[in-house]
Amino acid sequence: MNKMPRISLFIITKNEEKKIAQCILSARPLVNEIIVVDSLSTDHTVQVCKDLGALVFSRPFDSFTKQKNFALSKVTCPWALSLDADETLTPELVDEIKQELQNPTANGYELGRINDFLGKRMLHGGLKKEYILRLVRTEKSTFQGGLVHEKLTVQGTAKRLKAPFVHYSYDDVETYFEKFNKYTTLAARTLFEKGKRFCLLQVLLTIPFEFARRYILKLGFLDGIRGLIWASFSAFYVFVKYIKLWYLWQQKRF
């Protein structure tokens, strides 16, 4: 059996003291290096990371793409694993990665993410299991995208692994709307910088479609009240994003 290659875990953070330890500890049996790029946290995130053996870099946030590319540039191992602070590996996935990397057959691996929302596993509404490229050969990879919705890319082939990792996305409504405000602002700025204009008709058509897509087409109603909340929040996200886009154009006029 071939020797297990060295793996780096890299994470970007901002005020994640409540979740970052769980994230790092879930990956400790797998990784040889932990890189954290922190966006000037005001809580104990940095100290928690250092106490767990992470190498921490401080960098003001400018975009998710640039922040994660900076983190990736600090990786020294041949393989790199990208996680968010509110994500954890399952023991089954750790074992599967160890076995696969004994004799890797791809330059990247898509991992299946399952989502917890308001304290319960979501099985529908587009949240059941998302496959996302997260484990890559370091020298073959980069992030692409804009201010938000960054995407990890890899040169060459990518495969899917079976075991999942878990995204503890929003434990409460307050946390949801804290991130909601940040993400809708970044999304609106991205559209504005691309020259996208506000269109009232598009907004009026998109909002009900987004709700129906999540709640009916993707069977969100089977998740009970959480399915209804998720579909409603998703539709509201679209509305607020475009209202912020409208406001950016209004500001430019004056």
Q: What b/e sequence results for 199-222 when a residue is b if at least 16 CB atoms lie within 10 Å of its CB, and e otherwise? A: eeeebeebbeebbebbbeebebee
Among the listed residues 22, 129, 35, the one whose alpha carbon sits nearest the alpha carbon of residue 80: 35
- Cα(249)–Cα(68) distance, integer angstroms: 29
What's the pLDDT at 163? Answer: 96
- Cα(29)–Cα(70) distance, integer angstroms: 25
What's the pLDDT at 90? Answer: 97
- Give yes or no for a contact between 208 and 235, defined as CB atoms under 8 angstroms apart: yes
Among the listed residues 106, 88, 71, 115, the one whose alpha carbon sits nearest the alpha carbon of residue 25: 88
Name the maximum alpha-carbon separation found in the chain.
67
What's the pLDDT at 122? Answer: 94
Question: Per-10-residue mean pLDDT for the chain, 254 residues long?
Answer: 88 96 98 98 98 98 95 98 98 97 96 95 91 97 90 97 94 93 95 95 95 96 97 97 96 79
- Cα(177)–Cα(159) distance, integer angstroms: 34
Tens-digit pLDDT profile for residues 97-121: 999 999 999 999 999 999 999 999 9
What's the pLDDT at 254? Answer: 67
What's the pLDDT at 2? Answer: 67
Tens-digit pLDDT profile for residues 233-245: 999 999 999 999 9
What's the pLDDT at 228? Answer: 98
- Cα(117)–Cα(187) distance, integer angstroms: 22
Statement: 7-170 belongs to CATH 2.40.50.220: no
| Nearby residues of 182 by Cβ (< 8 Å), 6 or more positions away | none
What's the pLDDT at 169? Answer: 85
- Domain borders along the chain are 7-170, 173-253
Q: Could you count the other beta carbons within 10 Å of the beta carbon of residue 78?
A: 15
What's the pLDDT at 89? Answer: 98
Q: In the structure encoding, which two tokens stand for residue 53, read together?
A: 């053996």
